Every structure is written in C-alpha cells, then in structure tokens.
Structure 1
Amino acid sequence: MTRRKDVASHLTLFQEPVSTSGGAAPGVFDPARLTQARRLAAMTKKGAAEALKVSAVAVGQWESGSHPPRPDHLRRLAELFDLPPEFFIAGRPYARLEGSAAHFRSLRRTPARERERALAFTEQVWELTHALERLVQIPPVDLPGFSAGEIDQSIMPCDPVKAARELRQRWGLPPGRIPRMVRLLEQHGIIVTLTPFAGDATASVDAFSTSHLPRPIIVLTPDRADDVYRHRFTAAHELGHLILHGDAEPGDAEQERQADQFAAEFLTPSAEVHPLLPRRMDLNALAKLSAEWGVSVSSMIYRCREVGLISEAAYRRAFQRHSQLAGLGLFHPQPVADYPGEVPKLLTAAVALAGQHGVTLGDLADELRLSPQRIRNLVGWRDEKPVLRLVD
C-alpha cells in the first residue's frame, strides 16, 4: 500500500501576506461580535444583562446594532467574556454560522445553548483558518461539489453507498483499510479540530460538521475520542454529511442513517469485507477484522447483518454479548492519542510554519483580537507543561 505524504508537506509559506478587510469600518462597534462572544459563553441576553446590571433591552439593542454600548459598558463586556475590548470592534472578516447550517451527531440530545456555543467556536476556527491562509498555503478543498460554502448535490450520487464508493475512487484510495482517516480529510482541505471547546458542554456535543463556511469544517470532541475506532467512524460519518446533506435541514433521522451507511462503506467497502466476514457469529474473528480495518467490533457485527449474513435476532444477541464482554474489560478501547494520524494536525502545522517565519502566536492573537491561549485552544494544542507538586 502506498503511503500518503503527511499533511505538513502540503503547506507552503507565502512570502507576503495578502491584505483582507472586514465589512465594517475599523473603530466601529460590531454587534455580531457581541453575539458571538455571548454564544461562546453559552449565555442568554438576559443572563448577560444581569451580569452587567443593565436591562435585557439594552443588550438586545447592542446586538441589533440600533444603539452601541457606552465605553464603560464595552469594558465591562470585555471583562465578562474575558476578551480584549478590541474584540468587539469591526474591521475583521466574520462569517456567521446559523444553527440550520451544521449537522450535529446527537442533535436531539444537544441543548440549543450548547449548539450555539459550538457554532460560535466553529466561526472562530474559520477565522483562524482564514488568517493562516494569508500566511500559509493550506491544501485546497477537494470535496466534490463544494465551492465557497455551497455544495452542488448533483455532482455525487444521492445513494450513500454509491457516494462512498465514488469518493474513494475520486480520491484515488487503494483497496483495503484507510490507514489515517483524519489525516486523509486534512490532505483534501477539510479543517478538522479535536478540542474541548466548551468545557463540560462537550459531554452532550458528540461531533458536528458544516459545509456553509468558505472551508468545510468537522469538529470532533475529545470526550468522545477515547476509542479510536469510534472516532474514525465519526469522522467518516461527518464526511458523509458534507457529501450528501449540504443543503438539507439537519436533524433528520434518515440523514443520520445515510451518514452511517456512507461511513461504513467508505471505511469497509462491502465488496472487500463481505468475503472476510464469518458465516456464523464469532466475536474473536470479528475482533481481528476490527483491528485490520480500523473499525469497532460492533460496527463489524452491524456489517454482518447489513450484508445479510445473520438475522435480526442473531444480530441483537451478538451485540448484547459484545456489550457484556466489553463491560468485563475483554474489549479495550484504544485512545486516539496513540494514533497520530487520527489527531488533527493541519492547523497546528500551519501555525508552526508561520511561527518559523516570524509570525508568532501572539501576532495571530493580536490580529484576531483573542488571547494566545484562545488560539491554542482553537487549534487543539494541549498544555503539556509539567505540573509542579510540593511535597511536605
């Protein structure tokens, strides 16, 4: 099997940044920035008003743009949201992402306020990507039908299995296992991030994706990344949404089923896997296939039912048996951190390359009006400094 180049080799430094201007005049209060900051803090207008000791009407007027906040209120907003006052000033590129423009893996279990927080986070990921693209040539988007935040649904088959087969062909993937699923996405210009973007909120935010920004973005959360096989399937599932549901209203159960079908066929093509599946339930045999193909045992059990090798009743018994054995510790999940090709690297590599040529993390933070720590959070950098412990 031929080995693909690492994503870092696809980055090229621009010698001179290209200037970009925002839509509003610099120095003017930007109401959209207040909305973004409030959504990122998972705070309602009423909650912000109470924290600032102003009326909810005043906050509403600030966000609508009818009345800008006074300088003292602007300072208090900056303190409330832990942002520099300059964050709220217009003049920087901004792309608003509406709730209907993102596919959440667990939409019904994700409260609206947490979805808004996730969307605000994704907006800032795009802003960082946009700033980096002025400095570093990131791999171009190679997603059939995608152009500047839109998907032409006529380019690919509507059937998820056929779409998965065609994408493997278009991307020139050889037969067999996809060795590095996340890196494959990045090499085709899709931004992937794996970061605890909202603290405890990620407990109910599984994963989500959007094709409604100038670059498609997939957000994976570390709370759900303790199993590399589930992580790979989730990434392929979100790729299915990008391919199949660019113009569809998210949240439909049929769309989730289609994205699962796409992921299963993309990771384990039926023509290749079907002959390898046991004709009777053998969890040991499925565990070996699981390791060979980089998918979970439960996914392999489902595949057996999907291709008609076992009945519905046999499928349920096998799934229950696997769950029991997993509960006894006989099937150990493997963390994503042990598989570098499944940890996003594109943004971190771009930041590092820019830094090697004089554009520091602080420079990016100044441009985006964010803290350096916030930039680190957006790219998914963990704080790896040793912890000082005092012993009596």
Structure 2
Amino acid sequence: MSTTEQLRLLTTPSGPQPAAADVAAVFDPARLTQARQLAGMTKTALAQHVGVSAAAVGQWESSTTPPRPDHLTRAAEALEVPIGFFALGRPYARLDASAAHFRCLRSTRASQRAKAIRFVEQIWELAYALEKRVRFPAVDLPGFRGGEPHPGEVPADPAQAAQVLRRAWQLGDGPIPHLVRTMETHGLLVTMVSFAGADTPRIDAFATSRLPRPTVVLTPDRADDVYEHRFAAAHELGHLLLHADIAPGDKQQEREADAFAAELLTPAGSIGPLLPARLNFPAFTELSLAWGVSLKSLIYRSRELGLMSEVTARRGYQRIEQMRKLGLIVAEPVTHYPGETPCLLAKAFTIAQQQGLTHTKLAGELQWRVPRVRKLLGDNDSRPELTLITTPRSAAATGS
C-alpha cells in the first residue's frame, strides 16, 4: 500500500482506529510534540510511561529515529489521544510561542505557554474542519488581510488605533453592548474554556494574529466578572491591531493594549463629558451599567483624562474595595450576558449537525477523543462522573 493510500485510510472520519504499525509508517513527529505539550508532560515523563529513555523520545520528535508501533500505542495511552493522532495527513497550522501575546508572560512557565500554544493550534484545526461545512464570517480587522497581518496600516498610537477600529466596525461613539459577539461577527476566533485546568488562570488571556484567523483566548476566571472579561477581550484586540509584527513580552506593549482597551470601551470624547469630577458613586454606577466597564476603570479613566487627582482616585479605589468586602459590589458573571460568551464554533457545529455531522464523526476526522471535541466547542459535560468500585473475588468470597 502506498503512503498516499495509508494517509487516506488513516484520516477517514469514521470506522475503527488504525493499526499502530500503519500509523508508525506515516508517523508525524510534530503531532507527538503537540500531544505531549497539550498533556503538560516532559519528555522524561513520557519516556517513563512508554518504557524508553528521554533521549529516545527526543529522537522521535526530531525525526532522527521513528518510534516502534508498540511504543506509539503506549504513548497514545499516556497522552490520552487516539493512536491515529500521530499520523501525517491532517491540516496543521504550526504556531510558535513568540507569536502570541500573553497578558501574564513573565509569570507564565514555558510549559504553560507551550500548552496554550498547542491549544490554539487545535482551535484552528477545529475551525478549519467546521469551515469546510459552514461559511464563517469573513475576517474584517484593520491591518489584517489575506490571512496575515499587514503592519503599518493601523496607527501606532493606542487611542487612534481604537478609533480606527470603531470606524471600521461602525460602532459609533457610544457603548459597545456585546463586545465578544462583535468580534466573532467580524471573523475573529474567540474561545473561553479551561484549556489548561488549574493552570488556566495563571496563563490568562492571550491573542495571536499569526493564524489565518486572528484568535483571542479568554479564560473562565475572568468570566466571573463581566467587566474584567470585556476589558480583557478589548486588551487582546489591542494586541492584534498594535503588535501583530512585534515580539511579545514588553511591558510597554501591555500598557498600550490597556490604553487601547480604555479608548475602545470608553472613548475620551464621549465618556469625558459624562464623568463626574468628584467621587459621585451613584453617577459612576450608572455609567458603569451603561458602558459595560467597572467602577475602578471609570475612576482610572477620570484620573487619566485629568478630571480627578491621583489622591482622589486612590481614595475611590479604597472605597470600592470596602464596598466589595461588604458585599455592596457583587461581580456579574459572563453567563448572564450571552453577547459576551464565545459562540461561533458552537453555532457552526450546530449548523453542521443538520448536514449529518456528529461529535463522533468530527472526532474521527480530527483524530481526537470525543470529550476533547466537546471541550473545545465549549460543550463540557457538567454531569458528575459515576465511579464504580469492584470488589476482588477473594474479598467477596470471604464476605470481607
């Protein structure tokens, strides 16, 4: 059988899993690296599961020496992927860690960043599979054309860039009611799942424009407060427009993205005349509800626009913290605001289902497990897991 025929059989979206020997013949080293980093596993840890040396795993991933079929079988079990995951033949958009802007870059470990990057690669694969069946909105982002960024088309000044985006998306000069939904309707991929378990909050939000669709990853911990969530989304939008061709990691970039988010959500020309020059919390609360930003952001904006002194603003922050501790300020979760919850991928799948697509078929095409497909679609099974404990025959026989 030719390599082409093997690839065709291995990528068939239904049917039994391919034999390990067939996968070994068309082994893709990059897929092993992807699965290992998604699992947060070092080469040494994987080697222990498989029963080889760490050097052997390194040789597999560098294409120096191919793995044996039995080694692939044990690797698939350890990494919780189908054996076919390791085969060549499926679309794969490789992404480097230097192409993503992490909000908490300095506090994020290399292994956590690697897991995040591999997650985004899979988001692209999922979108690609769905887009073959469903027409997605065209990418409409200033400075991004033909599937790649075009530096220099957006002003370097954050406030000006935010104004450019408002005009391009015809947002006017008032509040933006549904920021995440607006991003999706303009062709951006936005996702919000716990992609790294307990490590997800440490990684925090990030974005990349180095894929055919600009992608923004938001994290569930921010979703507990819709105002923080919206600001994080606007912040990542700022990176996409301002820093598409700039290596991430500079604190100045984070400040610029914050300035972009502030101007996007609360344009100076519109919010300035409405902001009180003193700590009028009823007025700030009304503006907070109308514009979808936090009280703290509004006080910061007042100081930033020269309407309030640093001393007064600091007193305002202290007051907000006191009110929060007393339960007078309660965070609103994103679940109360459907327009701030990503839905593009889930809706695309729902439409594709009408053409006969199922979770099982999609999982077979991607060579993922069904729970992984559901997770990335944002369709996590929230039911508690039933665990059955069996009694050893010897114990049952003695009645113990």
TM-score, normalisation: structure 2: 0.89
Which residue of 2 is the match for residue 314 of structure 1? 312
User: How far off its partner does 1:236 sit?
Assistant: 0.6
Number of residue pairs aligned between Structure 1 and Structure 2: 368
Residue of structure 2 in register with 1:205 after alignment = 203
Q: Aligned to 1:375, what secondary structure does the other structure show?
A: helix
| Residues in 2 aligned to 1:250 and 1:388: alpha-carbon distance in whole angstroms | 44
1:6 aligned partner: none
Task: Please say which of residues 31-40 and 201-210 is displaced more in the overlay.
Answer: 201-210
Give the Cα–Cα distance (whole angstroms) in 2 for the partners of residues 67 and 149 of structure 1.
35
CA distance in 1, matches of 2:263, 2:328: 27
2:186 corresponds in structure 1 to 188
How far apart in 1 are the matches of 2:179 and 2:163?
15
1:227-254 alpha-carbon deviations (Å, 9 max, x no partner): 0011011001000000000011111111
Give CA deviations for 1:288-345 in whole Å, capped at 9, x if unaligned.
1111100011110110011001112222221122112212211110000010111101
- State the AA in 1 paired with 2:102: F
What's the counterpart of residue 233 of structure 1? 231
Equivalent-residue separation in structure 1 for 2:162 and 2:189 (angstroms): 20
Distance 1:369 1:387, change over 3 A: closer
In the alignment, which of 259, 262, 279 is matched to residue 261 of structure 1? Answer: 259
1:177 paired residue number: 175
Cross-structure match for 1:132: 130
Q: Which moved more, 1:76-85 or 1:139-148?
A: 139-148
Contact residue 278 and residue 312 of structure 2 kept, 8 A: no
1:15-63 C-alpha deviation (Å, 9 max, x unpaired): xxxx9x99xx985100000000011011111221122221111000000
2:34 is aligned with 1:36: yes
In structure 1, runs of 5+ residues without a counterpart are: 1-18
Aligned mates of 2:385, 2:179 — CA distance in 1:
33
Distance, in Å, in 2 between the alignment partners of 1:93 and 1:31 is: 14
1:222 is paired with a residue whose SS is: coil
Between the two proteins, what is the percent identity of the paired residues?
A: 56
Q: Which residue of 2 is the match for residue 294 of structure 1? A: 292
Partner letter of residue 238 of structure 1?
E
Gaps of 5+ in 2: 1-7, 12-21, 388-400
1:168 to 148, 166, 169: 166
Please tell me whether the aligned partners of residues 193 and 376 of structure 2 are also in contact (alpha carbons under 8 angstroms). Answer: yes
- Which stretch shows the higher mean deviation, 46-55 or 299-308? 46-55
Tell me: CA distance 1:362–1:387, structure 2 relative to 1, closer, same or farther (3 Å): closer
Q: Following the alignment from structure 1 to structure 2, what is the Cα–Cα distance between the partners of residues 153 and 258? A: 16
- The correspondence of residues 1-392 of structure 1 with structure 2, limited to 5 A, is 28-385=26-383
Structure index of larger Rg: 2
Q: Distance in 2 between matches of 1:204 and 1:330?
A: 28
For residue 277 of structure 2, what is the amino acid of its counterpart?
Answer: R
Structure 2 SS opposite 1:209: strand
Distance 1:160 1:341, change over 3 A: same
SS of residue matched to 2:249: coil
1:81-137 deviation digits (Å, cap 9, x = unpaired) = 111100000001111111101011111121111111111111000001111111111
